[in-house]
Chain A
Amino acid sequence: MALVFLVLPIVAIFARVPPGELVSALGTDAAKDALIVTAKTNAVSMLLILAFGTPTAYWIATRSSRLRDLAVTLVELPLVLPPAVAGIGLLAAFGRLGLLGGSIEWLGIDIAFTQTAVVLAVTFVASPFYVRTAVSAFESVDPTLPAAARTLGAGPARVFGRISLPLAAGGLGAGAALAFARGIGEFGATIMFAGSLQGTTQTLSLAIYEQFDLDFDVALAISAVLVAISGGVLLSVKVLTRWRSGSTSPIPFAPTTRTSG
């Protein structure tokens, strides 16, 4: 029964408009522009999340338990914050009259109503999904392996690059997929912090919101695209997770009692 309730709205999106019209609605400028803006801003966000999130997660995973718990809590906070709070926080921090707004403007960087603002919003709400999963992935790497590598003379960077990173890769991929799925659906923080302008800051979610009272069919079509993307991401997470648990078990000297994740 719960399953029916969960599935029905998604089925309804596809049921209300015939597939042919869905495709032609996607051909509208609003939908195409939103797709481009979303792809661009999310690509940049994902690069930032991977580049900064991976070392952060590794650092957290290798800390003492108390420091680790504190760091993990800080990472999890944006994860459970309502998007409206995220939007207010971003405005208070990076808004033109915000905490850092003045110094950022002084540096000649323009954030207000630019794609930079969208990237900031997406990165803020999506990165915790990656970092949280990545911390678990690094922690599930058998600690005897990096230790053994160290005794054999490998430096910390080499241990990270050759041992920890490849062994955690499956978990990192799953985390990245979750962050990506959250990022492309970002709405609240973006509309508050970045505004909405077709072709500049109007992402797919914002386009749905604007089209809702202009052309319901276009709103449905864009929604269908997001359902498809999100569904694809979830499937790939499943595949990645299975691949990860398959790839770490055959290590010859891993203790068999170790639990993953």
Chain B
Amino acid sequence: MRRALAALALALVVAVSVAAGAGARSEATGPLTVYAAASLTEVFRVFDGGQNYNFAGSNALEAQIRNGAPADVFASAAPLNTQRLFRAGIVDKPVTFTANRLALILPKSNPAGIRSVYDLRSKPVKLVVAAPGVPVGRYTLTVLRKLGLSGVLSKVVSRESDVKAVTGKVALGQADAGFVYVTDARPVSDQVTVVRIPAWAQPRVRYEIAVVSRSSNKAAAQAWVKAILSARGQTALKDAGFLPIPKAAS
């Protein structure tokens, strides 16, 4: 009985995937599927070639790939997520491809009247950060610790699932301030003001990219990673405000 039920369910799933055209995925010539950290949304779209993108928090992407999502390439905003999948044998050896810095952003109207990060301590403020599982959420905790501002975590009103959700809440004026990457502030520069965070308080934000081991499109995936690491790829990242590959990591 159990077997019959499982077979029935399986038959249904197969019927659905055939109907949805998912069967085409087995061909090695289909478009690449790139799972990338949300902060790469704008810059990765520049790399044309008809890729399918899935932008989200690196931790969510890691969980999806771990559960069998059909990714060919995984680009994470923290080495933690790529390295965990590497150790589990799910992705090939990850390489560092770029770096980033954090910034505090405010809505242009600046309802809380913030001029420096230290104003977060003294002013009543609706602060939005990313959840601690999300790379930018972890980096935010590091920044606050280095600045001696860990106390302002009590003013956090929402822990968002990725950096774009933080950016959106601030750009909309729902929140008074939020911690994002400097590269996230650029696309919404007409809606937000950027408050710089001193270099000594910056965390080491390192992005890693890896080819998914069971990818059916491996040659193309490796070529795509190579393109990101090429001079042209690095220039595109630099133009978007990302930092060059740190010396110690390459």
Contact = CB atoms under 8 A, between A and B. Distances in A.
**Which of the four size classes fits the interface of chain A?**
20 to 34
Contacts of B63: 212-213, 216
A195 interface: yes
Nearest to B13: A5
B219 interface: no
B140 interface: no
A4 B172 contact: no
A210 B126 contact: no
Contacts of B158: 113, 194-197, 201
B5 interface: yes
A196 B172 CA distance: 16
Interface stretch (B17-25, B26-34, B54-62, B200-208): B54-62
A171 interface: no
Contacts of B157: 112-113, 195, 197, 200
Interface string B180-214: 00000000000000000000000000000000000
A214 interface: yes
Closest 4 A/B residue pairs (Cβ): A195-B158, A113-B157, A213-B63, A97-B173
A3 to B, nearest CB: 9
A196 B175 contact: no
Given A1-B8, A201-B158, A210 B133 contact: yes
A210 B59 CA distance: 10
Contacts of B160: 195-196
A95 B12 contact: no
Given A5-B9, A112-B126, A196-B159, A97 B62 contact: no
12 contacts: A8-B5, A8-B9, A95-B173, A96-B173, A96-B174, A97-B174, A112-B126, A113-B157, A195-B169, A195-B174, A213-B63, A214-B133
B142 to A, nearest CB: 19
Interface string B148-190: 0000000011111100000001001111000000000000000
B131 interface: yes
Contacts of B133: 210, 213-214
Most buried by B among A95, A196, A200: A196
Given A96-B173, A195-B158, A209-B161, A1 B12 contact: yes
A50 to B, nearest CB: 29
B171 to A, nearest CB: 10
Given A113-B157, A196-B160, A198-B159, A4 B5 contact: yes
B205 to A, nearest CB: 19
A11 B60 CA distance: 24
Given A113-B128, A196-B160, A197-B158, 17 more contacts: A1-B8, A4-B8, A4-B9, A8-B9, A91-B174, A95-B174, A97-B173, A112-B174, A113-B157, A113-B158, A113-B175, A195-B174, A196-B158, A197-B157, A198-B159, A212-B63, A214-B133
Interface residues of B, number: 28
Contacts of B5: 4, 8
Interface of A: 1-2, 4-5, 8, 91, 95-97, 112-113, 191, 194-198, 200-201, 209-210, 212-214, 216
A5 B15 CA distance: 12
Contacts of B156: 197
Contacts of A210: 131, 133, 159, 161
B227 interface: no
Contacts of A2: 12
A197 B158 CA distance: 5
A208 to B, nearest CB: 12
Interface in B51-89: 57, 59-60, 62-63
Contacts of A5: 9, 12
B240 to A, nearest CB: 26
B108 to A, nearest CB: 10
